[in-house]
Structure 1
Amino acid sequence: MSHNPLYFLTVVFLSLWLISCSATKNNHDDTGDLVHSSCLHANYPTICLRTLTSFKGPAKTHRDLAQAAVKVSLSRARKVSKYITQVSSSVNNGTNKRERGALSDCVEQLSDSVEELNKTLSELKHLRGETFRWQMSNAETWASAALTNEDTCLDGFENVDGKVKSDVKKKITGVARVTSNALYMINRLGETRDMPSFNP
């Protein structure tokens, strides 16, 4: 029986394509499972799932997820910091004194938060096996400090009755929640000791 070369090549091509599709599907399933299982016990699981499943980038390891969570938090913090700065600079002397003070303090606190999240992300990007514990301690400390600054900003509006209070508090609360989730992912990374994923 003679074999048609074209038929043979077609069969080989289809076989390789099916294998590739199967591997891709399994990879996506594994990634989805990792995100779901990691977000399950986060402080804000719904927010965690929404932000990390839609995040563009690899999420194959606990290290990837921790970095992604910090990137989400950093992006939000930068946007809200810019917004608060604009609001603070636009208020006039006729604005409630407590509101002006709260806004001014919040500008500084969010600026510090952005800086701390930047340092956190940098540390997670350069993890080394021999200094893993020390670096994780740094990342946890900075992420915790960022969250504290965001919470302090929120606290500053407790006794404020100005018109911007509601909008500002909503935005800051959103940042604080994703930062809280990022801190959880960092702590989870420290517990997993996923050392094979770290490059020398």
Structure 2
Amino acid sequence: MAKPIILLLAALSILYTASPANAATTSSPSSSANIEFIEASCSATLYPALCVQSLSRYATSIQRNRSQLIKTAFSVSLDEAQSTKAIFASKLNGVKPGGMAVVKDCIEQIGDAVDQLRESIEELKSIGQAKGSGQDLRRLHISNAQTWTSAALTDISTCTDAVAGEARDGGLETSVRARVDGVAQVTSNALALLNKFGTEL
């Protein structure tokens, strides 16, 4: 009697494993696997902890897709730059007269960085559209995105240096200065991810 029961259990096990519902469960990436993918990818950046923190909230949409990871990193950078520009604009009335020129310059520089990050994102979109058109065209879009992002980092760094100088006179709040540093760091992370994994897009 034991042998038929064993055969029956084996058959049920095979049917369970092959069932569509179970197949969907085993093939669907788990949340922890998505986070691990982000952590492993972020190890290529200068600010890995910030990278994981800023991207982990999008783990469900990123899953384990390099292209989506990089696009999300650039979107985070753009959002941070836009909000920082708005914060600088809101602080104009509270800045000492001597720091007014610095703040206005920073608003302009961050505004330029916003435009450059938008250009980078457009280049990333073009990479996907260029699939099947040859490696040379894809490499061109990757190179363009790298160039735009490097230019954005230069503008942000110029603002960072100016704000650091003005901070000695107490003209700017610590939180505002920290925001500029944050934009520089998430942008640096986005560029590092593109440099590391761009060929996989």
Report the Cα distance in structure 2 between the residues aligned to 1:85 and 1:40, rounded to whole angstroms: 34
Report the Cα distance in structure 2 between the residues aligned to 1:91 and 1:36, rounded to whole angstroms: 40
Matched, 1:49 2:40: no
Report the Cα distance in structure 2 between the residues aligned to 1:126 and 1:117, rounded to whole angstroms: 14
Q: CA deviation at 1:162?
A: 2.7
Report the Cα distance in structure 2 between the residues aligned to 1:35 and 1:133, rounded to whole angstroms: 24
Report the Cα distance in structure 1 between the residues aligned to 2:185 and 2:146, rounded to whole angstroms: 16
Q: Is the 8 A contact 1:140 1:183 kept in 2?
A: yes
118-127 vs 59-68, greater mean Cα deviation = 59-68
Matched, 1:82 2:86: yes
Alignment: residue pair count:
179
Alpha carbon RMSD of aligned pairs, Å?
2.4
Report the Cα distance in structure 1 between the residues aligned to 2:180 and 2:163, rounded to whole angstroms: 11
Find the counterpart in structure 1 of residue 190 from structure 2: 182
More helix by share: 2
Secondary structure of the corresponding residue to residue 43 of structure 1: coil
Find the counterpart in structure 2 of residue 4 from structure 1: none
Percentage identity across paired residues of the two chains: 29
- Structure 2 counterpart of 1:138, one-letter code: N
Structure 2 runs not aligned, ≥5 long? 1-11
1:93-136 Cα shifts (integer Å, max 9, x gaps) = xx241x11110100000100100000101110121243111111
TM-score, reference length from structure 2: 0.80
Structure 1 runs not aligned, ≥5 long? 1-7
Report the Cα distance in structure 1 between the residues aligned to 2:63 and 2:117, rounded to whole angstroms: 19
Find the counterpart in structure 2 of residue 103 from structure 1: 103
Q: CA deviation at 1:148?
A: 1.1
TM-score, reference length from structure 1: 0.80
